[in-house]
Structure 1
């Protein structure tokens, strides 16, 4: 094991560049998937005729597909119909599609967990359905959603490594390039990569616990 050679300034800079790409892809995917998943989950909870059933079919289809297949589709298959996306945009698109389906179920389940009696009480007091959803149901549901949502975000961050299949220059991709130079670099490099993933994910876990504690 060559720790000195593995942790040379050039290698560390290369890994940090890959880590930046990982964080960038994860950041945009988290924001987009939360917004889209929140909308889909809320629409399904509202049980709008036709729309709710159509969304249910789409969500269940995506949830039962491998993420790798979706990544392949966004990068390779879309090119055949004239939609050419960069590697980074393809990765963000694929992760957003997949995570939106996952998050929509978490949000729908969170909304469904609120006692129906509160909804009836709010409606009987004169609140509209939208006001009941926004001021009564959603605030309580969000408290219950925090742990599973953050857990899904952690999974999303780790899933960015799957985009190595389309040569996204993220952390795992750059680590593999360094490892290809010398076999004695493998353990030191992957130990560092593991630590970098752990650092971010553990930070997210701490934030989730604090948010959950404040909401109790």
Structure 2
């Protein structure tokens, strides 16, 4: 093990560049996943005839597929039908597909946790069903949703490491490049990678707890 040689500024900067791309992929995928997941979760919550059943079936299929398979599909299979994505957008697309399915269930569960009486009370006061959802149900459900949503985003950040299989230059990929130059760097690099992931994920967890108190 050569900690001094492994932790040179050049190597640390190289890892931070990989971490920056990891966070960029996670941020973009999280935004898309939350928007799509919210729409899908709402569709299932509203129990729209036929559509809710179809959406539910698709979500169940995606949730039970390995994320690695979805990454392979977006990068290797989509070009076969004329859809060509860069490595970055292939990773974002795969993560978005998978996380949207996961978040949709969290959102649906959060909405279902609010007693039906809340909705009935809102409608009885003259609010439309949509207004009742927006002003009464969703604000209350949000408190229950925050911890699992943040937990899922933390998982998404860690799952970006799977994209190294398609040579996305994220943190794990950069770690492999560094220790590939010198096998004495393997343990120091794994320790540094674990530390960087821990800092990001722990910070998000702490933020989640503070946000939960505010809500």
Q: What TM-score range do you get, normalising by the shorter chain?
A: over 0.9
Match of 1:34 in 2: 34
> Which residue of structure 2 aligns with residue 92 of structure 1?
92
State the partner residue of 1:44: 44
Task: State the partner residue of 2:20.
Answer: 20
**Matched residue pairs, number?**
215
Equivalent residues in 2 for 1:188-207 (5 A)?
188-207=188-207
Write the deviation string for residues 23-54 of structure 1: whole angstroms up to 9, x where unpaired.
Answer: 10000011110111011101110111111111
Root mean square deviation, CA, Å: 0.7
State TM-score, norm by structure 1: 0.98
Can you give the 5+ residue segments of structure 2 that lack an aligned partner in the other structure?
none
3-state SS of the aligned residue for 2:137?
helix
How far 1:9 moved relative to its partner? Answer: 2.1
CA distance in 2 between partners of 1:33 and 1:188 (Å): 34
User: Equivalent residue for 1:7?
Assistant: 7
Structure 1 stretches lacking a partner, 5+ long: none
CA separation in 2, counterparts of 1:10 and 1:207? 31
Work out the CA distance in 2 between the residues paired with 1:42 and 1:81. Answer: 31
1:49 match: secondary structure: coil
CA distance in 1, matches of 2:152, 2:88: 20
Please show how residues 1-216 of structure 1 align to structure 2 within 5 Å: 1-215=1-215
CA distance in 2, matches of 1:136, 1:46: 15
Find the aligned partners of 1:93 and 1:202 in 2 and give their Cα distance.
25
What's the CA shift for 1:65? 0.4
* Runs ≥4 residues deviating over 6 A: none
Q: Deviations along 1:51-102, whole A, 9 cap, x unmatched? A: 1111101100100100000000000000111111000000000000000000
- Provide the rounded CA distance (Å) in 2 between the counterparts of 1:142 and 1:53: 24
Separation (CA, whole Å) in 2 of partners of 1:173 and 1:154 = 19
Q: SS where residue 126 of structure 2 aligns?
A: coil
Distance 1:15 1:108 in 2: 38
Please state how far the C-alpha of 1:14 moved relative to its aligned partner.
1.3
